[in-house]
Structure 1
Amino acid sequence: METENYFPKDFLWGASMSAFQSEGAIADDGRKLSVADIRIKKMNQQFHTTDTSTATDFYHRYKEDIKLMAECGLRSFRFSFSWSRIFPDGNGKVNKKGVQFYDNVIDELIKYNIKPIVTLLHFDLPQSLIDQYQGFYSRESIQDFLNYAKFCFNHFGDRIPYWLTINEQDVLANIPFFNGLDNLSQSIQASHHMNIANALTMKLYHSLDLKGKIGPCLSYPTRYPASTDPRDQFLAMNLDDLGIFYLIDTLIYGKYPAYYINHLKSKGIMFKTKKEDSSLLKNVKPDFLAINWYTSEVVGQYLDDSQVDDYQGPELPRQNRSEKGVAQYYKNPYTEYGDYNWNIDGVGLRLALRKIYERYHLPLMITENGLALKEKIDHGKIHDQKRIKYLNQMIQSMSLAIKDGVKLFSYNPWSFTDVLSSSQGMDKRYGLVFIDRTNTDLKVLKRIPKDSFYWYQKCIHENGSI
């Protein structure tokens, strides 16, 4: 169904990937291991998926992939630098071959008039920093990240119009092993140090008088209360606040909200600070906010067999997912679900964009958005109609959000090619382009554009008129 088109003519239609999920070549040309390499190797051993050693081999096939991006009509490409490819130890000497690789990728993108959008850290902290001082759990990480960022700004900054600092810090704060750490208390302390690193990095970038822009990148699922019970209503709001808005508030206003500090103290996991931290966090002015949005969730109060209360829960199908003592998750009967239990909810995206923009009044960029499917080649083609349905809803909702007044300037769905999933390896596919390999057989890594590739190609050509 075609809707009225509100996309500006200069809207940046793109796609996204990350280094550890696509590059491979984890020991080539001076690169050393990251926490992602270690983490996914363990997942591979436990669940027989695959590791990061080859992934989709973007390291050797970037020209082929970027040529396909140009064929699709992409105007932007959001990707990440591997910190351990540029600084193998996270600090110390620069790896010239790693720098040359990213020079080549950037120049190839520019050759096709595709604007590079670069993330400095995407779940792949150098393992050496964990070995040296436990990574972001230590304050030493702040200066090392700042030195890494400064090198990148000085070397690549004349060609990069948009920078993202740390991908999904809200996720890293709550999943310790994603950051190479052991427990939540360490992770919360690390998140505080990442906030300071974020603030100093954005201030550094603006001090260099470069022509580009910089902002944080955060994950936000729209949350609906499971019922009109006031407790469910409050729960959904509180999960939003504790999951995402406290972090954006801190990065923009330079101060932690009181409800967040009180929450940490009540759980006995309050982070340690120094006197200068307050001033370090202040006067940060992100140029935009980058949002990773995939799905909506329905949340209600936690229920178990021993609970004695008058609350029985809504008449909705329960999901297996729950957080003990916090929340029970439900399926939304008004939305369709994909193969991995995430739903298709364009209205949820519009709601999220409205809520974030009206709260912060900063331009927005969507840096991840997609539907994971289990896919196989069918007579040389991949018919991913459910993904097309998903993208169609998202793009219609984005147009309506722009009509509402939201300043949305770029859309980069996840992902351009299929990429390695942290938990399901190559079984879980998001791409517009199929990578013909399995968890156990690399084959020849043939690239096959899916039906969604051609649908998106037309969408870009028509500037969102679908």
Structure 2
Amino acid sequence: MVIMALLLIFLLCLSTSLRDTAALTRHDFPKGFIFGAGTSAFQVEGATDEDGRKPSIWDTFTNQGYSFDKATANVSADQYHHYKDDVKLMRDMGLDAYRFSIAWSRLIPDGRGEINPKGLEYYNNLIDELIRQGIQPHVTIYHFDLPQSLQDEYDGLLSPRFIEDYTAYAEACFKSFGDRVKYWVTINEPNIDTIGGFDTGTLPPQRCSYPFGVNCTVGDSTTEPYLAAHHLLLAHASAVSLYRDKYQATQRGQIGITLLGWWHEPATNSSQDAAAATRMNDFHIGWFMHPLVHGDYPTVMRSRVGARLPGLTAEQSKNLVRSFDFIGFNHYIVLQVQADKREFSQMQRDYYADAAAIPSQFEHIREGHLDDAPWALGKLLDHLRLLYGNPPIMIHENGFSDTSEVPGKIEYDDDDRSEFLQDYIEVLYLSMQNGSNVRGYFVWSFLDVFEFLFGYRSRFGLCGVDMNVEGRTRYMRKSAHWYSGFLNGGELRPVSPSAKAYSAA
């Protein structure tokens, strides 16, 4: 009997090993696993001055010529006028779900007060069309685009008044759409929105201070990123508490938050760089995950940032802990990190100086080149499983950028994008085999859109958009056909070297 039992165990292990290296299909993923694609309102809708919509801070930023190549999103892919065509494309591809955001300044143009009937009509129509075609709507309430009126009135995220206004806006969304929307994201990428907007000043509202930021006339890079992030966390907890108290029992939805999930690795084998990479992961991921799981900021942040890191009351801490049904992560890249050995005083340090870490590839990112490193997704998921209790995870963005010297040029061939997606889906599967609690995967992006960092030169779309014609013609790239084939039962090729690299690690 002992010999037979050992033989059975050996055969089971052999079977698992062989399965890991065989071609995958979507049927290898658990029942109910969600495959989709996404966009966000500012990036895809266009119609920025139509039907009562008012400016957001991103409208102000781009229309003043600060964005890449001085591009604007005034028209973009014009989904506002083409949503039915887009939903038909989603149906034809076989998407389970579409992740999109609601534009606060379209629904409540002044940031607070009356709902705009035309904005309400548009989002009702979009949601109804998605459901009619069998596609789940996954809705992000706030995706960077703060109404300009709130920025002008009280400096937006820097004021605790933001929490009240955001909560009222979130409730308007729950009331208006929650009978049909079963997946809500409160806030998108607060761990980078705050750095770009309040430390480096490269993103709106362009607040920073010397020597850390560029081209800013106001701001304080030493304190404001932490204060803005603090208010975003409290706003998230407030919206979740409201949803759970008043809406979740009847609407039966789920609610979470979505973080940027860059993974940081040491640039060399030195112990200093290894420690710097660990600190950077704590600053980048732990900044939000630690309060959401443990009720306070990471110890390393408390010790290094000191009094500049806002405190949490006992009640705030209680409200933050487990204030999610899932956590979304947007993952694209791995950053090599060097230890920063320079000495700074407490009042002359920004976020990166506090972390004493120098990510070495930012110029590469600014140029629109995102390196393919699928194993880093596996390491990120392992990190969440081991340090944060293996929370339910949605990969809300993962995608491949290509560039063109002619913005909007029609190009169907994108085999690199298909290969990229295969690599990441393989690693996702292997991580789940290791126990990661992943519930869904969304490709960024469904369409070519206005990219926050890269304008129109950098394209992530499964479906292309001819930005050179008034009608913004859509077309399916090869990667869209590949993804559709996979969603309809087609196989991935045998496991890639990148996936093997994750398995070996």
Q: Aligning the two structures, in what range does the TM-score lie when normalised by the shorter sequence?
A: 0.7 to 0.9
Q: Report the equivalent of 1:55.
A: 76
Report what 2:416 is aligned to: 386
- The letter for the 1-side match of 2:224 is Q
C-alpha contact (below 8 Å) 1:121/1:165 kept by paired residues? yes
The equivalences for 1:76-225 within 5 A come to 76-175=97-196, 176=198, 177=201, 178=203, 180=205, 182-183=207-208, 184=221, 185-207=223-245, 208=247, 209=249, 210-225=251-266
* 377 and 140 in structure 1: CA distance in 2 versus 1, 3 angstrom threshold: closer
The answer to whether the Cα contact below 8 Å between 2:296 and 2:317 also exists between their aligned partners in 1 is no
Shift in Å, 1:154: 1.6
Aligned match for 1:270, one of 295, 304, 309: 309
Q: Which residue of 2 aligns with 1:320?
A: none
Aligned residues: 439
Using the TM superposition, give the Cα deviation of residue 233 of structure 1 relative to its aligned residue in structure 2, in angstroms: 0.6
Which residue identity is paired with 1:158? D
d(CA) in 1 for partners of 2:108, 2:410: 41
SS across alignment from 2:324: coil
Secondary structure, in 3 states, of the residue corresponding to 2:73? coil
Find the counterpart in structure 1 of residue 497 from structure 2. Answer: none
Deviation at 1:348, TM superposition (A): 1.2
CA shift digits 1:334-378 (9 cap, x unpaired): xxx998331111111112112213333211101100111014799
C-alpha separation in 2, matches of 1:139 and 1:181: 19
The two structures have a TM-score, normalised by structure 2, of 0.81
Contact 1:7-1:399 at 8 Å conserved across structures: yes
Answering whether residue 450 of structure 2 is matched by residue 435 of structure 1, we say: no
Give the superposition deviation at 1:327: 3.9
1:88 partner SS: coil
Classify 1:405/1:123 alpha carbon distance in 2 versus 1 (closer, same or farther; 3 Å): same
Q: CA deviation at 1:324?
A: 7.3
Counterparts in 2 of 1:157 and 1:275: CA distance versus 1, 3 Å: same
Task: Identify the match of residue 32 of structure 1 among 35, 54, 60.
Answer: 54
Alignment partner, residue 471 of structure 2: 444
Task: Please report how far the alpha carbon of residue 70 of structure 1 lies from its aligned counterpart in structure 2 after TM superposition.
Answer: 0.7
Quote the Cα distance in structure 1 between the aligned partners of 2:106 and 2:235. Answer: 20
Q: 2:393 aligns with which of 364, 368, 371?
A: 364
Name the counterpart of 1:425. 455
- Quick one: which amino acid aligns to residue 391 of structure 2? L
Partner of 2:348: none
Paired residue secondary structure (2:242)? helix
Seen in structure 2, the aligned counterparts of structure 1 residues 242 and 463 have a Cα distance that, compared at 3 Å, is farther
- Name the CA shift for 1:430/1:47 in 2 (closer, same or farther; >3 Å): closer
Q: Which residue of 2 aligns with 1:16?
A: 38
The percent identity for this pair of structures is 32
1:21 alignment partner, SS class:
helix
Equivalent residues in 2 for 1:241-390, closer than 5 Å: 241-265=282-306, 269-271=308-310, 278=316, 281-302=319-340, 326-329=356-359, 340-360=368-388, 361-375=390-404, 381-390=411-420
Per-residue CA deviations over 1:232-265 (Å, capped at 9, x if unaligned) read 1100000000111121111233222332123222
**Residue-by-residue CA offset, 1:57-109 (whole Å, 9 max, x unaligned):** 01000111111011111001111000111110110111111011000000011
Could you say if the C-alpha distance between residues 464 and 302 of structure 1 is closer, same or farther in structure 2, counting changes exceeding 3 Å? farther
User: Contact between 1:227 and 1:300, CA under 8 Å: does it hold in 2?
Assistant: yes
User: Tell me, which stretches of 5 or more residues in structure 2 are unaligned?
Assistant: 1-20, 209-220, 343-351, 494-505
What is the deviation of 1:180? 2.2
CA RMSD of the aligned region, Å? Answer: 2.8
Q: Which amino acid aligns with 2:414?
A: D
Q: Which has the higher helix share?
A: 2
Matches of 1:120 and 1:73, distance apart in 2: 25
**Structure 1 pair 112/463, CA: closer, same or farther in 2 (3 Å)?**
farther
Q: State the distance in 2 between where 1:340 and 1:303 align.
A: 29
Q: Distance in 1 between matches of 2:261 and 2:67?
A: 29
Question: Does the Cα contact within 8 Å between 2:258 and 2:330 map onto a contact in 1?
Answer: yes
Task: Flag the 1:282–1:12 CA change in 2: closer, same or farther, 3 A.
Answer: closer
Q: Whole-Å Cα distance in 2 between the matches of residues 142 and 380 of structure 1? A: 43
* Contact 1:79/1:119, CA 8 A, preserved across alignment: yes
Q: Secondary structure at the match of 2:54?
A: coil
Structure 1 window deviating more from structure 2 (295-304 vs 209-218): it is 295-304
Shift of 1:446: 1.0
Task: After TM superposition, give the deviation of residue 381 of structure 1 in Å.
Answer: 4.8
Contact 2:333 2:371 in 1 (8 A): yes
Worse-superposed segment, 164-173 or 345-354: 345-354
Measured in 1, the distance between the counterparts of 2:182 and 2:126 equals 15
Structure 1: 5+ residue runs without aligned partners?
Answer: 305-322, 332-336
- Residue 112 (structure 1) shift: 1.0
Deviation at 1:455, TM superposition (A): 0.5
Spell out, residue by residue over 1:284-318, the C-alpha distance to the aligned partner (whole angstroms, 9 max, x if none).
Answer: 431111000011122123489xxxxxxxxxxxxxx
Secondary structure of 1:289's counterpart equals strand
Match of 2:446 among 403, 413, 416: 416
Deviations 1:185-239 (A, max 9, x none): 2332121111111111111111122301011100011211122211111000000
- TM-score in terms of structure 1 length: 0.87
Measured at CA, do residues 391 and 339 of structure 1 come closer, stay the same or move farther in structure 2, by a change above 3 Å?
Answer: farther
Secondary structure in structure 2 of the residue aligned to 1:417: coil
1:159 aligned counterpart, secondary structure = coil
Whether the aligned pair in 2 keeps the contact of 1:357 and 1:364 (CA below 8 Å) is: no
Contact persistence 2:236–2:257 (CA under 8 A): yes
Q: Which residue of 1 is the match for residue 425 of structure 2? A: 395
Q: For structure 1, which segment, 19-28 or 442-451, has the greater mean C-alpha deviation from structure 2 after superposition?
A: 442-451
Once residues 445 and 23 of structure 2 are traced to their aligned partners in structure 1, the CA distance between those partners, rounded to angstroms, is 25
- Where does residue 273 of structure 2 map in the other structure? 232
